[in-house]
């Protein structure tokens, strides 16, 4: 697995591409990226990485057998600017196929432009339509309101709250644990079995279906 294939999408006037990373761009993660506490405080990180750390992370991702990672780029003609990354990790295959999702935008000038929710939709589509995953999970630290909203737009819903998981800005914070279930009939029925899904699960399914429809109209898998 390791790195995912290229996908292109438009977010407003911005042209976004999901594509494999290379060692040449890793310095962008370090500065202006993950050496800023304002970027990492909701990533459960209290230290600032250096380039050597990113090289180790790159090799780990490159060789990963249970993870898929993309760099997030803004395209301007032939030029690309790296602004973050997104992943499907901890992929497990048993009676169902599941993974954990995550995203990070380290250039703050691109926050609040709808990029995160669009990336979630594209990644969800790839997980469900291209890989046949049954469920994708994610987690959000309390206070990270924008990330929670971005996930919900692509069909994630709250499953449970884990109390006092991290210490951020002088206080203990809880963690919201969310899930997005493949809305296709086979996967949906497999996941719920004989149980009747709660209303919030049914509502989340509708949001996921809308997200997948949006992807088919707005995302190009190259």
- The pLDDT of residue 44 is 85
Which CATH number covers residue 13?
3.40.630.30
pLDDT exceeds cutoff 90 at 69: yes
Predicted local distance difference test score (pLDDT) of residue 45:
86
Q: Give the integer Cα–Cα distance in Å for 14 and 52.
A: 31
Spatial distance between the Cα atoms of 119 and 215, rounded to a whole number of angstroms: 10
Residues 131-150 have pLDDT tens digits of 999 999 999 999 999 999 99
Ramachandran bin of 150, using left for φ above 0, alpha for ψ from -120 to 50, beta for the remaining angles = alpha
Distance CA 59, CA 106 (A): 20
Confidence (pLDDT) at 174: 98
Distance CA 143, CA 149 (A): 11
Can the peptide bond before residue 32 be classed as cis, meaning omega within 30 degrees of 0?
Answer: yes
Query: What integer pLDDT is reported at residue 95 of this predicted model?
Result: 94
- Beta carbons within 8 Å of 12's beta carbon, 6+ residues apart: 113, 114
Which stretches does DSSP call E strand in 47-134? 68-76, 79-93, 97-105
C-alpha dist (Å) from residue 188 to 152, 160, 204, 206, 210: 18, 20, 12, 12, 16
The whole model's pTM is what?
A: 0.96
Residues in Cβ contact with 145 at an 8 Å cutoff, skipping those fewer than 6 apart:
none
**Residue 78: its pLDDT value, please?**
86
Instruction: Compute and round to an integer the Cα radius of gyration of the chain.
Output: 17
- Residue span of the structural domain in which 88 resides: 2-221
Give the residue-averaged pLDDT of 166-178: 96
pLDDT level of residue 90 (50, 70, 90 thresholds): very high
Distance of alpha carbon 113 from alpha carbon 143, whole angstroms? 19
Return the pLDDT at 32: 79
- The model's pLDDT over 31-52, given as tens digits with 9 standing for 90+, comes to 878 999 999 999 988 899 999 9
Average of per-residue pLDDT across 10-32:
95
Instruction: Tell me the average pLDDT across 169-175.
Output: 96
How many domains is the chain partitioned into structurally?
A: 1
Contact 79, 173 (CB under 8 A): no
């Amino acid at each position: 697995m390791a790195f995912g294939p290229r996908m292109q999408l438009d977010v407003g006037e911005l042209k976004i591409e999901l594509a494999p990373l290379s060692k040449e761009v890793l310095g962008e993660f370090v500065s202006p990226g993950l050496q800023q506490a304002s970027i990492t405080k909701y990533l459960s990180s209290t230290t600032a990485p250096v380039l050597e750390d990113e090289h180790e992370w790159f090799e780990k991702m490159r060789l990963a057998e249970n993870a898929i990672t993309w760099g997030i780029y803004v395209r301007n003609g032939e030029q690309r600017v790296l602004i973050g990354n997104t992943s499907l990790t901890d992929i497990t295959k048993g009676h169902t196929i599941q993974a954990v999702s995550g995203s990070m935008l380290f250039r703050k000038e691109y926050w609040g432009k709808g990029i995160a929710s669009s990336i979630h939709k594209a990644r969800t589509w790839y997980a469900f339509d291209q890989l046949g995953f049954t469920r994708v999970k994610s987690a959000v630290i309390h206070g990270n309101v924008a990330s929670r909203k971005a996930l919900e737009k692509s069909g994630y819903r709250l499953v449970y709250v884990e109390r006092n998981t991290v210490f951020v800005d002088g206080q203990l914070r809880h963690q919201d644990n969310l899930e997005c279930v493949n809305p296709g009939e086979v996967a949906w029925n497999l996941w719920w079995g004989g149980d009747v899904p709660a209303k919030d699960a049914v509502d989340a399914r509708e949001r996921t279906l809308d997200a997948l429809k949006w992807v088919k109209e707005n995302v190009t898998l190259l």
